[in-house]
Structure 1
Amino acid sequence: MTGDYVTITTKARGKESWFLGAITDENARIAEMALNFLTKGEKYKTIDYENTKDADWQKNPIAYKIRMIVVTNKSKINLNMAPAGGTAISFEPIQ
């Protein structure tokens, strides 16, 4: 078994908030993620911490950007990961 990359989601206890974390090996990658784990009919605001295009684990390890978007359980997002990088996303329901 090889460990090229991993993506994990978890739901906050007693809330409709979700969290996603992803990490990759020394290879950059873009992974498409379906958000069908989110509650049907709800809209969520995300806060996404992701690698920038010039991020590199040796030369530029702290290069990241923060983006916010609105998603539903029908949405798909791209997880942009630099070499040895990753992404972290929180999902908060919009009331």
Structure 2
Amino acid sequence: MCCLCQTRAWGGTKGKDWFLGAITDDNARNIDIKLDFLTQSVREEVLVYQDGKPTNRRNNPYDDVIETKIVAPDEVLSLSLASSGETAIQFKALD
């Protein structure tokens, strides 16, 4: 686990899939995750569950966005965490 100010991010594997989660405190923030932990020369399908744009813990705590995209190990995944927000990500190898 790494500490990014008042944000926690952690990851793990099950079989060939990677999983990553992140949470934050009362302050909304953006974090960038380097994907260099993924296998080189392998593209990954990423399923991202994260807070929607109007989300905040007091007025709209349940607006979530689910997004799918293709990434490679040389990319950076940018995440937006709402106040008291979280994200969950699954990486599935395509190659």
Q: If the length of structure 1 is used for normalisation, what is the TM-score?
A: 0.91
Distance 1:65 1:42 in 2: 26
Distance 2:83 2:55 in 1: 8
Where does structure 1 differ by over 3 angstroms across 4 or more consecutive aligned residues?
none
| Aligned-residue identity in percent | 31
Give runs of aligned pairs for residues 20-59 of structure 1, distance below 5 A. 20-59=20-59
* Corresponding residue number in structure 1 for 2:79: 79
Letter in 1 for 2:39: T
User: Is 1:4 paired with 2:6?
Assistant: yes
> Unaligned stretches of 5+ in structure 2?
none
Aligned-pair CA distance for 1:86: 1.1
Letter in 2 for 1:7: A
> Unaligned stretches of 5+ in structure 1?
none
Letter in 1 for 2:12: T
Structure with more of its chain in strand, by fraction: 2
Cα RMSD of the aligned pairs, angstroms, is: 1.0
Letter in 2 for 1:63: D
User: Is 1:63 paired with 2:63?
Assistant: yes
| Aligned residues between the structures | 91
